[in-house]
Chain A
Amino acid sequence: MADDKKKKDKEPDMTFFHPDLLEAPKDGSAPYLKGYRCKKCGKLDFPKLSPCPLCWGEDFEMVPLSRKGKLYSFADIYIGQPGMNTPYIVGYIDLPEDIRIFAQLDGEVQTFKCDEDVELTTGPIRMNQDGLPIISYKFKKAN
């Protein structure tokens, strides 16, 4: 949160959300979201649920998800969460793997449309308790 109540004698707060969900390779290659496929029933989940809610399987394999999807719907938010800068934009992105992602959208308000193509990017989604940005997955208009 932006109100800089720095908690002393504490571990530094998170600046990356979340290594189990997002891979942002250090070599500059494209980031990707991590899906998890249940080894018992084959269900693909994002985010990872454990156990698998369909079959209670406990073993999963990581599957990189598509970087492009369709923007199902979105909202330009003018009154947001405490401590978040406004406006910001959120949306549901449907990936070809039949998975829906909720994410912030990079871009200007009043510019997005339902069913347009968007692609994965990364960037700050909010400030942490130390006043530093938390980096996570976001989507932007596809090139």
Chain B
Amino acid sequence: MKLQREVFIVGVGETVFGRRKEDYDALGREAAFKAIKDAKISRPDMIQSAYVGNAHNGIVTGQTIFKDLGMCGKTPIINVESACSAGAMAVHLAIKDVATGLTEISMGVGAENHTLRRQKGTAFTPAMNDIEAVHGGVMTGKYSMRATRYMYERGATIEDFAMITVKNRKHATHNPHALYRGEVSIEEVVNSRMIAYPMTLHQCCAISDGAGAVVVCSKEMVKKLGIEKPVKVAGSVVTSGPYHNGPRDITGDDITEMTTEMLYKESGVGPKEVNILELHDAFTIAELLYYECMQLCGKGEGLKFLRDGQSTYGGQCVVSPRGGMLAYGHPIGASGAAQIAANVKQLRGQCGGYQVEPIPKVAMSHVTGGGLSGTEHAACTMHMLVKGW
């Protein structure tokens, strides 16, 4: 999507992520209200369209969230589902409305509560009408097959994978929104419960609940609202996963490679210019292979990139500065919107205690979505944000 006019993010909100007793609608409302206040919006009818990403919590989730904010009856509210990509897709649709001139102010929200509803001790599964799901396919298995092949071809070890958890939780040490923060050792990660070899418990994102929200508007409206630090949307791309039933390289990820390529082209930003990146680190192996898919380094150099510290403080690009999904957990409809909210706060320099220094100027985010046989992922959504003041 080539943005037809400039779009800015003027308000963001996120909840604390973790095992929450509040249902998705209370979480979504909390994040949305924070974002609305952050954007200095004073009346519900100023928001001309709203999109809500959710995967598992039922029907009319958006209207349920926005009812108490007085938006029902005033704002068209559209609910968006594409598994883990839903929240970022909701933001994408809000951006699209402003970019095309349909609206001046729109918002996207992602919200999810898993713990009130899920069976414990089981793994996330694609829909049961999926041929791989019938045969026992689970997301952990899919990523473990990637990890196993990666070890076989590249000589990576389980300790290498564990470094990603250690790094991301370290980034989250002082982030009050994160579920898991601070010191964890490689040994603890490696010796945690085996989920699907070589992915151990602490290499898998936790089940958690939360919400993120993002308000976007036109350049004119930035002035009217009196926003001092608007973040410019340099690019916003949604793709669907190519279907193939033949052999393919799963140490890469075709949909992420394709979406990245489109995002760099659309935004005019190159891979070496990205200062911070939130990506779909649902499993350690995912982050490791995405370094290459997103061209942060060359093909075959991902392991070196990690081992050399290029993806942490002082490196080429701080990957998962909020702590990623490995620290937040992954409420699947919420994560995509929450990543964007966290990136905006980094660009504004508002992340006391976990602020990346020097304050980043370019932030990228990435969420894939959905297990669908014959695709690497059913969906992928990526955003490029730049300092806009």
User: Are the C-beta atoms of B122 and A79 separated by less than 8 Å?
Assistant: yes
On whether the beta carbons of A80 and B135 are closer than 8 Å, the reply is no
- Contacting A at CB under 8 A, from B227-254, are 243, 245-248, 250
A81 touching B136 by the CB < 8 A rule? Answer: yes
Q: With a CB–CB cut-off of 8 A, which chain A residues contact B131?
A: 21, 47, 102
Which one of A5-13, A23-31, A85-93 is at the interface? A85-93
Task: State the Cβ distance, A125 to closest chain B Cβ, in Å.
Answer: 5
In chain B, what residue has the closest Cβ to A91? B145
- Assess whether A75 is in contact with B149, with CB atoms less than 8 Å apart: no
CA–CA, A109 and B121, complex, Å: 20
* Contact present for B137 and A102 (CB under 8 Å): yes
Q: Mark B120-163, 1 if CB is under 8 A from A, else 0.
A: 01110100000111111110111011101100100000000000
Tell me whether A53 is interfacial, beta carbon within 8 Å.
Answer: yes
Tell me the minimal C-beta distance from B96 to chain A in angstroms.
27
Is A99 an interface residue when CB atoms closer than 8 A count as contact? yes
Please measure, in the bound complex, the distance between the C-alpha atom of A79 and the C-alpha atom of B140, giving whole angstroms. 8
In the complex, A100→B142 CA distance in Å? 14
Whether a CB of chain B sits under 8 angstroms from the CB of A103 is yes
B267 close to chain A: CB less than 8 A: no
Chain A residues whose CB sits within 8 angstroms of the CB of B250 once the complex forms: 72-73, 92
Q: Give the distance in Å from the alpha carbon of A78 to the alpha carbon of B373 in the complex.
A: 21
Chain B interface residue number, banded: 20 to 34
B134: nearest chain-A partner, CB-CB: A17
* Contact with A81, one of B138, B145, B149 (Cβ below 8 angstroms): B138
Q: Is A106 an interface residue (CB 8 A)?
A: no
Known contacts A79-B122, A79-B195: A100-B248 contact under CB 8 Å: yes
B4, CB-defined interface residue at 8 Å? no
> Does residue A114 face the partner (Cβ distance < 8 Å to B)?
yes
Contact of A73 with B148 in the complex, beta carbons under 8 Å: yes
Closest chain B residue, CB of each to CB of A97: B246
Considering only CB atoms, which chain A residue lies closest to B123 in the complex?
A79
Please indicate the chain B residues that have their CB under 8 angstroms from the CB of A114 in the complex.
148-149, 152
Give residues of chain A (96-127) contacting chain B, Cβ–Cβ below 8 Å: 98-100, 102-104, 109-110, 113-115, 125-126
Extra contacts besides A73-B152, A78-B195, A104-B136 (9): CB < 8 Å: A72-B250, A77-B144, A80-B138, A82-B125, A90-B137, A99-B245, A102-B135, A114-B148, A134-B134
Chain A residues proximal to chain B, CB less than 8 Å: 17, 21, 45-47, 53, 72-82, 84, 88, 90-92, 94, 98-100, 102-104, 109-110, 113-115, 125-126, 134, 136
Using a CB–CB cutoff of 8 Å, the interface residues on chain B facing chain A are 119, 121-123, 125, 131-138, 140-142, 144-146, 148-149, 152, 193-197, 243, 245-248, 250, 373
Can you report 21 residue pairs joining A to B where beta carbons are below 8 Å apart? Answer: A47-B131, A72-B250, A73-B145, A73-B148, A73-B250, A75-B144, A75-B197, A77-B141, A77-B196, A78-B194, A79-B123, A79-B196, A80-B136, A80-B141, A81-B123, A84-B136, A90-B141, A100-B245, A109-B197, A115-B152, A126-B134
